């Protein structure tokens, strides 16, 4: 099936700095790229997504960039806060399906005060 | 916010035994999913469903069955549990409108001894 590689397994930043998590994929047919956050001991919850008809989307302190030529998308968290500490997963729709998501392996983000 | 409830939260099973993991959602979503989460693999899709009576194989269905008896309920069944099925299992639901945002349960931690 479709593969998505999440490049950073861990990331540590100081409070107030920006954090960037990068993912690459192989199938040019992928059209939907969501990001999910998992806090310790909990399930995942959606944070932001981007579709292939745009290359940038922002929601408050979160920015998602999509570079279709490079088959790369990234999550930028600006002005990080300790509560941003969590595991972040990139994902994309796979196998030509609108419903099946393939997830990256996750990035553990630690924001230190 | 969509509510997805999984039971049990923790389960210890013996090799060769039968295990049933249950999931209930209260937002009338058409689609439901079972994922497992393992260190180094991220989330992998086991089975999913488009509605009552439907089940579809995901990326790693071997050793698992699924049942969707109603819109609200989706079960994952391990007929003959093996230690390799020790994992954290997540159920998710989505409205079924394409490129959809998923809502996850808190997870079931299964240990097969």
pLDDT of the residue at A1: 54
At A101, the pLDDT band (50, 70, 90 cuts) reads confident
A61: left (phi over 0), alpha (psi -120 to 50) or beta: alpha
Q: What pLDDT score does B9 carry?
A: 95
- What is residue B96's predicted lDDT score, i.e. its pLDDT? 77
Q: Do B103 and A45 touch (CB under 8 A)?
A: yes
Q: Which residues of A touch B50 (CB under 8 A)?
A: 99
Which residue does chain A place closest to B32, by CA atoms? Answer: A99
Three-class SS of residue B90?
strand
User: Is residue B74 very low, low, confident or very high in pLDDT (cuts 50, 70, 90)?
Assistant: very high
DSSP B22-49: EEEESS--SEEEEEEEETTTEEEEEEEE
Q: What is the pLDDT of chain A when averaged over all its residues?
A: 92
User: Is there a contact between A44 and B100 if contact means CB atoms under 8 Å apart?
Assistant: no
Per-residue pLDDT, averaged over A81-101, amounts to: 85
Which H, E and C letters describe chain A, residue by residue? CCCEEECCCEEEEECCCCEEEEEEECCCCCCEEEEEEECCCCCEEEEEEEECCCCEEEECCEEEEEECCCCEEEEEECCCCHHHCEEEEEEEECCCCCCCEEECCCEEEEEEC
The answer, for A101 touching chain B at a CB cutoff of 8 Å, is yes
Q: Do A100 and B58 touch (CB under 8 A)?
A: yes
Cβ atoms of A3 and A25 closer than 8 Å? yes
pLDDT for res A69? 94
Res. B98: pLDDT tops 70: no
Distance from CA of B85 to the nearest CA of A (A): 18
A30-55: pLDDT as tens digits: 889 999 999 998 899 999 999 999 99
**What is the arithmetic mean of pLDDT over A88-106?**
83
Q: Is the pLDDT confidence value at B5 over 60? A: yes
């Amino acid at each position: 099936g479709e593969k998505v590689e999440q490049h950073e397994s861990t990331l540590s930043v100081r409070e107030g700095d920006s954090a960037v998590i990068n993912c690459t994929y192989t199938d040019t047919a992928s059209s939907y790229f969501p990001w999910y956050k998992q806090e310790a001991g909990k399930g995942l919850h959606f944070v932001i997504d981007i579709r292939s008809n745009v290359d940038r989307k922002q929601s408050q302190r979160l920015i998602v960039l999509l570079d279709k030529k490079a088959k790369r998308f990234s999550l930028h968290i600006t002005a990080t806060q300790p509560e941003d500490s969590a595991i972040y997963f990139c994902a994309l729709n796979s196998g030509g399906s609108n419903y099946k998501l393939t997830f990256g392996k996750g990035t553990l983000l630690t924001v230190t005060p | 916010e969509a509510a997805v409830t999984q039971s049990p939260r923790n389960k210890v099973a013996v090799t060769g035994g039968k295990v049933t993991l249950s999931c209930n959602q209260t937002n009338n979503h058409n689609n439901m999913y079972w994922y497992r989460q393992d260190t180094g693999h991220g989330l992998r899709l086991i089975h999913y469903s488009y509605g009552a009576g439907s089940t579809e194989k995901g990326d790693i269905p071997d050793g698992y069955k699924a049942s969707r008896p109603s819109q609200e309920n989706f079960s994952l069944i391990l007929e003959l549990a093996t230690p390799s099925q020790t994992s954290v299992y997540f159920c998710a639901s989505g409205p079924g409108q394409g490129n959809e945002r998923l809502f996850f349960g808190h997870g079931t931690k299964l240990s097969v001894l």
